[in-house]
Amino acid sequence: MKLIDRNNLAEKATRTFPGAAYYSDEQFQRELERIWFKKWLCAGRLEEVPKVGDYIVRQIGDESLLFVRGQDGDVHGFYNTCRHRGSRMCLSASGHLRGGTVTCPYHSWKYSMDDGHLLSAPNFPDNLEGFDRTQFPLMSFKTKVWQGFIWCSLDTEESAEDEISQLPAELGYYEKYHLAELKPGKVLTYEVNANWKLIMENSVECYHCTTIHPQLSRATPPDNAWWWNDEAPSESDFLDVGGMTLAENFERASLTGIATRPQFAEITDDDARAVYYFSVLPHTLFGLAADYVFCFSLWPVSAQKTKVLAYWLADPDLLNQDGILDDAFEFWDITNKQDWTAIELAQQGVKSRAFAGGGVIGLDDWLVGKFVEYIKKSLSE
């Protein structure tokens, strides 16, 4: 692991995107095509669809995506759109499909939830001229499981790799947190009135921590930050954001700092005194603490509105105790809301003519510059 001392960063300011990149609908459409419909995205946890027929729905812009636990035990991804005359299929954010099928609420076309093929289309006889039922399955997309999370890629190009090549096969230093074996104790969706890039930019820097996060800063003082990966994330979608050390009088990353849960079995005592952060670009952040993991994924609704899907994961054996994760949840819920307030103010400001040329990035927010590079490179591919 390469430690980068703050004092060894290249002393060179870089620029943010121009203001319009944070609110223009054209830019948003370009990002959908070149980033969101290309990259592997983190759709949720396997525990959200535990039983055959369980489903969750995710939305990117106008695109609605259905993830179903099939009868083969795998999670299958389908566009949530009927092939007859286009109706949305599943209307809830999550639910359960019975009998291995998914039925359209408009004219009752029925599809297999395993492979999407059209099972029945009332009053569409097989010999109807111009109609071949095999040509109208639910459209599918690729899904994978990585570290207990469900991932998807909407990329249909022949050259698109079936593997999540951007992600390391192993998590290296972080493997000992055994993310796949944890379970969500809490899942929450936030709505933020801001462009998704402003949220990602905020998530990779702690320059703002002293100003807006008194609780977080008491637990992990911003002066205790370090970074250890100066390789350009544009080469990969895995961004090692860095770590923060707990304040001396804190045993845990929480409001009180009091240890109420054991630390993860395989981490070192030094690890237990840190919170490590990494990001799988374009849209996730993972924070690994001594005894829980906080993570989120972003789901852009429009150029100026984003949903944030947040998870608090812990050892499943602990989760049958009522309120066992409350301290971790409250700690991050307070911190998240402080972030959303600041980011929404930024969203308002970037629309000013005064910001048309963009802003500037310095030493303490240098990773924002890496994110900007990554997006620029992705857009030009």
Selected from 34, 107, 133, 183, the binder of ligand FES by CB under 6 A is 107
Closer CB to Fe ion, 237 or 339, in the complex: 339
Among ligand FES, Fe ion, none, the one that 98 touches (CB under a kind-dependent 5 to 8 A) is none
Give the Cα separation of 307 and 340 in Å (integer): 11
Closer CB to ligand FES, 133 or 178, in the complex: 133
Neighbours of 6 (CB within 10 A): 12
Give the Cα separation of 21 and 27 in Å (integer): 6
Closer CB to Fe ion, 31 or 339, in the complex: 339
| Residue 31 engages Fe ion in binding (rule: CB under 5 A) | no
Closer CB to Fe ion, 291 or 339, in the complex: 339
Within 8 A by CB and 6+ apart from 213, the residues are 335, 338, 339
Closer CB to Fe ion, 141 or 227, in the complex: 227
- Candidates 100-108, 200-208, 213-221, 295-303: pick the segment binding ligand FES (CB under 6 A): 100-108
When CB distances to Fe ion are compared, the closest residue is 339
Selected from 21, 49, 66, 104, the binder of ligand FES by CB under 6 A is 104
Virtual CA dihedral for 270, 272, 274, 277, nearest 10 degrees? 120
Closest approach, Cβ 140 to ligand FES, in A, equals: 17
Rg for the chain, CA atoms, rounded: 22
Selected from 17, 109, 136, 340, the binder of ligand FES by CB under 6 A is 109
Among ligand FES, Fe ion, none, the one that 82 touches (CB under a kind-dependent 5 to 8 A) is ligand FES
Site string for ligand FES, 67-96 (x = CB under 6 A): ---------------x-xxxx---------
Q: Are 103 and 118 in contact (CB under 8 A)?
A: no
Among Fe ion, ligand FES, none, the one that 290 touches (CB under a kind-dependent 5 to 8 A) is none
User: How many positions of this chain bind ligand FES (CB under 6 A)?
Assistant: 10
Closest approach, Cβ 252 to ligand FES, in A, equals: 51
Cis amide leading into 125 (omega within 30): no
Closest approach, Cβ 105 to ligand FES, in A, equals: 7
Closest approach, Cβ 137 to ligand FES, in A, equals: 13
Selected from 48, 205, 339, 365, the binder of Fe ion by CB under 5 A is 339
Among ligand FES, Fe ion, none, the one that 183 touches (CB under a kind-dependent 5 to 8 A) is none
Closest approach, Cβ 154 to ligand FES, in A, equals: 21
Q: Are 45 and 30 in contact (CB under 8 A)?
A: no
Q: Which spans of this chain sit near Fe ion (rule: CB under 5 A)?
A: 339
